[in-house]
């Protein structure tokens, strides 16, 4: 029986070793069919959390359920089976540079299904059409702009109609037009495919325009969560500074140091 939440994270912590804690006591619920953002400044543990959900890492403590299954109890075959139902858009696309656009999108279907090549061709063209690049199927990755590469990577990620899409900084390095295209595709493809999406980003305004809910991480701790409207109106100094991009606030502009006049006296 399907649960209301596709992903449930309960009391999760993760440490690379006993001295370096990355995440502490994380609790999250990702409802089916929704687009949820995980936000925070660089180094706050956002991408590590994605890797835990995908089963690349096992949490040091706590539980992660995906589609009702406790991920830490899965063996290797079980993890691979679960990951085939997930799509990942990496930060810079991560296309196979020696394969054409067509073959990049066809790759997963050839690896994980027994579909005939004629059907694979139809699906590839449908996915490329969905991202506006059907006419570019014969090009190589080196012939694409950054925005086009990101769209091809998105077509590849949705090739197997995943139940869960994960986006790792999907807006980074894009010009305003490409950024707008990718932003709209994230929302439109989620709704069209009936999937669930997690967007890891520090591009605040772009994400707040398309997501249903936001979790905000700081130094590996969940410090706030709410709807986009609640995040924009938050009076929490840390959240307010992040959402509105203010230079001064709890996240200091100056790295900790001695008083400036004391430094000058050393000269």
Instruction: Indicate whether 47 belongs to any domain.
Output: yes
What pTM value is reported for the model?
0.85
Phi then psi for residue 52, to 5 deg, are -65, -40
Give residue 51's domain range.
5-235
What is the CA 99 to chain-centroid distance, rounded? 24
pLDDT per position as a tens digit, 126-158 = 999 988 899 999 999 999 888 889 889 989 988
Provide the residue count of the chain.
267
pLDDT per position as a tens digit, 181-195 = 888 889 988 998 889
Distance CA 204, CA 223 (A): 16
Instruction: Indicate whether 265 belongs to any domain.
Output: no
Q: How confident is the model at residue 22 (pLDDT cuts 50, 70, 90)?
A: confident
Segment holding 21, helix H or strand E: strand 20-31
Task: Tell me what the mean pLDDT of segment 6-27 comes to.
Answer: 89
Q: How confident is the model at residue 124 (pLDDT cuts 50, 70, 90)?
A: very high
Instruction: Indicate whether 245 belongs to any domain.
Output: no
Instruction: Indicate whether 247 belongs to any domain.
Output: no
Instruction: Indicate whether 185 belongs to any domain.
Output: yes
Which two structure tokens, joined as six digits, stand for 167?
């986006």
What is the CA 155 to chain-centroid distance, rounded? 15
For residue 11, the domain's CATH number is 3.40.50.300
Window from 21-25, 35-39, 92-96 with minimum mean pLDDT: 92-96
For residue 126, the number of C-alpha atoms closer than 13 Å in the C-beta half-sphere is 13
Distance CA 134, CA 152 (A): 10
pLDDT per position as a tens digit, 197-213 = 999 988 888 888 899 99
DSSP type of residue 244: H
Which two structure tokens, joined as six digits, stand for 244?
């509105």
Q: What pLDDT, on a 0 to 100 scale, did the predictor assign at position 216?
A: 92
pLDDT per position as a tens digit, 227-266 = 999 989 888 888 888 888 777 777 766 666 777 777 776 5
Which two structure tokens, joined as six digits, stand for 54?
């995908």
Instruction: Indicate whether 143 belongs to any domain.
Output: yes
Distance CA 247, CA 254 (A): 10
Window from 45-54, 67-76, 171-180, 252-261 with minimum mean pLDDT: 252-261
Instruction: Indicate whether 10 belongs to any domain.
Output: yes
Instruction: Indicate whether 253 belongs to any domain.
Output: no
Q: Please state the domain count of the chain.
A: 1
Q: What pLDDT, on a 0 to 100 scale, did the predictor assign at position 236?
A: 85
The yes-or-no verdict on residue 19 having pLDDT over 80 is no
DSSP type of residue 100: -
pLDDT per position as a tens digit, 65-120 = 999 999 988 898 998 888 888 988 887 668 888 999 999 999 988 988 899 999 99
């Amino acid at each position: 029986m399907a649960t209301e939440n596709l992903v449930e994270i309960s009391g999760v912590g993760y440490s690379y070793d006993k001295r370096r804690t990355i995440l502490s006591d994380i609790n999250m619920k990702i409802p089916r069919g929704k687009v949820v953002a995980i936000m925070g400044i660089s180094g706050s543990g956002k991408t590590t959390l994605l890797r835990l959900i995908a089963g690349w890492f096992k949490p040091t403590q706590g539980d992660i359920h995906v589609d009702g299954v406790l991920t830490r109890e899965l063996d290797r075959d079980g993890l691979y089976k679960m990951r085939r139902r997930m799509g990942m858009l990496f930060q810079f696309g991560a296309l196979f540079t020696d394969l054409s656009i067509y073959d990049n999108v066809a790759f997963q279907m050839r690896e994980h299904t027994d579909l005939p090549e004629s059907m694979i061709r139809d699906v590839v063209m449908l996915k490329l059409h969905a991202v506006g690049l059907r006419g570019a199927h014969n090009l190589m990755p080196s012939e694409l702009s950054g925005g086009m590469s990101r769209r091809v990577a998105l077509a590849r990620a949705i090739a197997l109609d995943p139940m869960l899409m994960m986006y790792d900084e999907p807006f980074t390095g894009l010009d305003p037009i490409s950024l707008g295209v990718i932003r709209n595709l994230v929302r439109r493809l989620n709704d069209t495919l009936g999937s669930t999406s997690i967007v890891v980003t520090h591009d605040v305004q772009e994400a707040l325009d398309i997501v249903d809910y936001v979790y905000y991480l700081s130094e590996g701790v969940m410090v706030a969560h709410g709807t986009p409207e609640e995040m924009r109106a938050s009076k929490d100094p840390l959240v307010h500074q992040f959402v509105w991009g203010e230079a001064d606030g709890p996240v200091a502009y100056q790295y900790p140091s001695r008083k400036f006049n004391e430094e000058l006296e050393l000269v």
